[in-house]
Amino acid sequence: MNTISINNLVRENILKLQPYISFRDHNQFNDPAFLDANESPFGECNRYPDSTQRKLKNRLSVLKNVSPSQIAIGNGSDELIDLILKIFCEPKKDSILMMNPSFAMYGFYATINENRVLQINLDENFDIVKDDFLRIVKEQPIKVFFLCSPNNPTGNSVDDIEFYLQNFDGIVVVDEAYIEFSGKKSSLELLTKYPNLIVLQTFSKAWGIAGARVGMAYASEEIIKLINTVKAPYNVNVLSQELILKTLDEETNLQENVSKILAEKEWLQERFKDIKCIDKVFPTDANFFLIKMKNVGKVYDMMLEQEILTSRRDPAIPGCIRINVGNRQDNEKLINLLKNISE
């Protein structure tokens, strides 16, 4: 069991902060007349949402085998990243560490919060060099370390996450936005062992509900209380909560969708082998490929001319484009164009 004291990592003003508590959401009523929140009595969506997201947390608790008190719900994972930084990182004083390359929003929100952003450069296989990690955390005072696994935009998973938890005395955030595609074990199983661990997941990728903007943080009760204290009172709207609950009723659709995406991923991977403008397709555990192209600028521009939207990653990752798996029609359009470019 890790003996890190979370209170020693939290900003002093956050420890003193009193949460906004909705009287309505923290009490039970049989047939109330809602005259407390200045809402309109008319309309189909006229009442504020449950600020505690009780039903959703209870459902996720069963699905993920964690206590509801260990779950925070955010307006996408982005809000949760922002809240974590506000809780633990003092502006103009504290630093975060993130992989390079990785998901840009860690650095984006840290910069907004006036935190220093340190990066650990990945090796040629996009893996973390453990000796580099040990050196950085020894030389620099760091509050939060962001691990993205599978990593965006490289697609590979981080091996031996427990190593980083054992060798870092700050907050470790493991972003598992793409975990459902990977076949890897979630870091959720490490929560009871490491009180400084936060696991982020989302409904935006495998679940196919990016438009609802719902993300989850799983952590110790102590950390979740802090997130609930700092978050906006009604941060997840009624329509999104209802849509997610309905989707959870149809959980088999998740597996069906993931299976379809993985089948399309395999279909694409086979066809990439015959395309001459492709130099390398990097190994991926996610629903996207990082691909090194010959004449990357020309290839990207020609795809854009045909309204095939991809994510150009150079110069940060020289010569590379990130392309996610689409449906068969989109995938065929992509392959046909790449063949034409190659010819």
pLDDT digits (tens, 9 = 90+) for 247-283: 998 877 899 999 999 999 999 999 999 999 999 999 9
User: Are 218 and 274 in a shared domain?
Assistant: no
Reported as half-sphere exposure (CB side, CA atoms, 13 A), residue 248 has a value of: 19
User: Are 167 and 279 in a shared domain?
Assistant: no
pLDDT digits (tens, 9 = 90+) for 192-227: 999 999 999 999 999 999 999 999 999 999 999 999
What average pLDDT score do residues 335-343 get? 91
Residue 221 CB contacts under 8 Å (≥ 6 apart), including other chains? 67, 69, 70
Q: What span, in angstroms and rounded, lies between the C-alpha atoms of 284 and 151?
A: 9
Query: What is the pairing mode between strands 320-324 and 288-293?
Result: antiparallel
pLDDT digits (tens, 9 = 90+) for 22-55: 888 888 899 999 989 999 999 999 999 999 999 9
User: Are 101 and 135 in a shared domain?
Assistant: yes
Cα distance from N-terminal residue to C-terminal residue, the chain: 59
CATH code at position 158: 3.40.640.10
Count Cβ atoms within 10 A of the Cβ of residue 48 and give its class: 0-12 exposed, 13-18 middle, 19 or more buried: middle
Q: Which helix (H) or strand (E) holds 130?
A: helix 130-139
Global pTM reads 0.95
Written as six digits, the tokens of 109 are: 């929100």
Does residue 203 fall inside a structural domain? yes
pLDDT digits (tens, 9 = 90+) for 163-189: 999 999 999 999 999 999 999 999 999
Of 203, 230, 250, which closes a domain? 250
User: Are 165 and 311 in a shared domain?
Assistant: no
The per-residue pLDDT for 2 is: 57
> What share of the chain has pLDDT > 90, as a percent?
92
Q: How far is CA 207 from CA 141, 201, 226, in A?
A: 37, 11, 27
Q: How many domains does the chain have?
A: 2
Could you give the 3-state DSSP secondary structure of residue 203? coil
Of 233, 250, 267, which closes a domain? 250
Q: What span, in angstroms and rounded, lies between the C-alpha atoms of 343 and 323?
A: 21
Could you give the 3-state DSSP secondary structure of residue 281? strand
278-281 sheet: strands from edge to edge: 278-281, 288-293, 320-324, 311-312
User: Are 178 and 297 in a shared domain?
Assistant: no
Of 205, 230, 250, which closes a domain? 250
User: Are 90 and 212 in a shared domain?
Assistant: yes
